[in-house]
């Protein structure tokens, strides 16, 4: 994909069109890969404690929509798995920035499912975790 033009760059219409086409192609390929793998995506912003989930991520958790806090997400993790999940997510924030955490979730209908979450942190100045991004739901076996 061509490099993204900066706002101050003079970009010719053909160059902008090529960039937009390449970006659309990349987004379509990502959507296809996520659908084929049955993965959902999420983001949590630490500064304001707000989460944004893809429709597929919501479906994995048995929800129509989710834009809640970290505490609301944690409440959906099976009580026996919360400590292990917290440790895994904390490792991503302290260490390499990436962690895979397998844990059970309890859906609103009471059913229990296993999910695998790949968590990636984006760090701010001084290295505090600023944002977490993730893909989740790689497997859905009943507990």
Q: Which pTM does this prediction carry?
A: 0.72
Domains and CATH numbers, the chain: 40-136 (3.30.450.20)
CA 122 – CA 62 distance, rounded (Å): 27
How many percent of the chain have pLDDT more than 90? 21
Check residue 114 and give its pLDDT. Answer: 92
CA 37 to chain centre: 14
Write down the number of H helices and E strands in the chain: 4, 5
CA 67 – CA 72 distance, rounded (Å): 9
- To the nearest whole number, what is the mean pLDDT of the chain? 80
């Amino acid at each position: 994909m061509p490099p993204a033009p900066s706002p101050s760059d003079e970009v010719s219409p053909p160059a902008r069109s090529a960039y937009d086409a390449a970006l659309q192609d990349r987004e379509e390929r990502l959507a296809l890969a996520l659908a084929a793998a049955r993965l959902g995506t999420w983001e949590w912003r630490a500064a304001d404690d707000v989460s944004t989930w893809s429709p597929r991520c919501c479906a994995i958790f048995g929800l129509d929509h989710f834009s809640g806090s970290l505490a609301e997400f944690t409440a959906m993790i099976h009580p026996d798995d919360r400590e292990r999940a917290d440790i895994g997510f904390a490792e991503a924030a302290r260490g390499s920035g990436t962690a895979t955490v397998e844990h059970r979730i309890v859906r609103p209908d009471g059913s229990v499912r296993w999910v695998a979450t790949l968590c990636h942190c984006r760090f701010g100045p001084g290295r505090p975790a600023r944002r977490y991004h993730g893909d989740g739901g790689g497997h859905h076996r009943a507990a």
